[in-house]
Amino acid sequence: MKKGVLFVAFGTSVPQADKALRGLEATFEKSHPGLDVRWAFTSNIIRHKLAKQGRELDSVTTALSKMLDDGYTHVAVQSLHTIPGEEFHQKVLSVVSRFSGGPGGFRQVTVGSPMMATDADMQAVTAAVQSSIPAERKADEAVVLMGHGTHHSGNIFYPGLQWYVAQKDPNIFVGTVEGTPSLDTIVAELKDRGIKTAWLMPLMSVAGDHAQNDMAGDEDDSWKSVFKANGITPKCVLKGTAEYPEFAAIWLGHAEDAFGRLAQ
Q: Which residues are catalytic?
A: 148
* Side-by-side strand order, sheet with 172-176: 172-176, 142-147, 197-202, 233-236
Among 12, 13, 43, 59, binds a second copy (CB under 8 A): 59
Q: Is 33 in the site for a second copy (CB under 8 A)?
A: no
**Residues 83-112, interacting with a second copy (CB under 8 A):** 84, 89-91, 94-95, 97-105
Q: How far is the CB of 118 from a second copy (least distance, A)?
A: 5
Nearest by Cα to 76 from 84, 67, 85: 67
**H or E element that contains 40:** strand 37-41
Measured torsion, CA atoms of residues 59, 88, 22, 133, in degrees rounded to the nearest 10: 150
Q: How far is the CB of 262 from a second copy (least distance, A)?
A: 16
Q: How far is the CB of 141 from a second copy (least distance, A)?
A: 21
* 122 close to 161: Cβ distance less than 8 angstroms: yes
Whichever of 157 and 251 has its CB closer to a second copy, that residue is 157
Query: From the centroid of its chain, how far is CA 74?
Result: 25
* 198 close to 144: Cβ distance less than 8 angstroms: yes
Whichever of 156 and 226 has its CB closer to a second copy, that residue is 156
Q: How far is the CB of 19 from a second copy (least distance, A)?
A: 25
Q: Taking CB under 8 A as the rule, which mask of x and - marks residues 110-129 in contact with a second copy?
A: ---x--xxxx-xx-------
Whichever of 47 and 235 has its CB closer to a second copy, that residue is 47
Measured torsion, CA atoms of residues 140, 145, 149, 154, in degrees rounded to the nearest 10: -90
Q: Is 191 in the site for a second copy (CB under 8 A)?
A: no
* 243 close to 209: Cβ distance less than 8 angstroms: no
The number of beta carbons lying within 10 Å of the beta carbon of residue 70 is 11
Q: Taking CB under 8 A as the rule, which mask of x and - marks residues 62-81 in contact with a second copy?
A: x-xxx-xx------------
Pairing of strands 142-147, 197-202: parallel
End-to-end CA distance of the chain: 9
Q: How far is the CB of 258 from a second copy (least distance, A)?
A: 14
- Which parts of this chain interact with a second copy (CB under 8 A)? 44, 47, 59, 61-62, 64-66, 68-69, 84, 89-91, 94-95, 97-105, 113, 116-119, 121-122, 151, 153, 155-157, 159-160, 162-164, 167, 179-181, 185
